[in-house]
Amino acid sequence: MTAQTIILIFTLVIYLIIIFVFNKARIKYAGGKVGKVINLILVTASLLFVADYVIIFDKFIAYDVLEIVRALFRTAALSFLAYGGSKISDS
């Protein structure tokens, strides 16, 4: 196994733990600001997950295009987090 594969497996485990824990919390704390924050974290983690695992298409899509898609998903995740956080703090 290469170092990149080990890192991808490790981050996959971390993403799965985050999504599992926050999904259980979302069920328990539905509604209100806490529910909104939990949904915000879930969407952000999902977008970052997609950004990290877009690399599996490296055999089909050019590396430069993959880096652009990766950057777009990371930017979307951080923008969603910033915008959602500002909306939650205003209410």
Residue type at position 38: I
Reduced DSSP (H G I as helix, E B as strand, rest coil) percent helix, strand, coil of the chain, to 5: 90, 0, 10
Identify the three-state secondary structure at position 86.
helix
**Tally of domains in the chain:** 1
Is the model's pLDDT at 56 over the cut of 90?
no
Identify the three-state secondary structure at position 3.
helix
Is the model's pLDDT at 28 over the cut of 90?
no
Rounded Cα distance between 27 and 12, Å, is 23
pLDDT in tens, 65-91: 999 999 999 999 999 999 998 988 887
Domain of 29, in residue numbers: 3-90
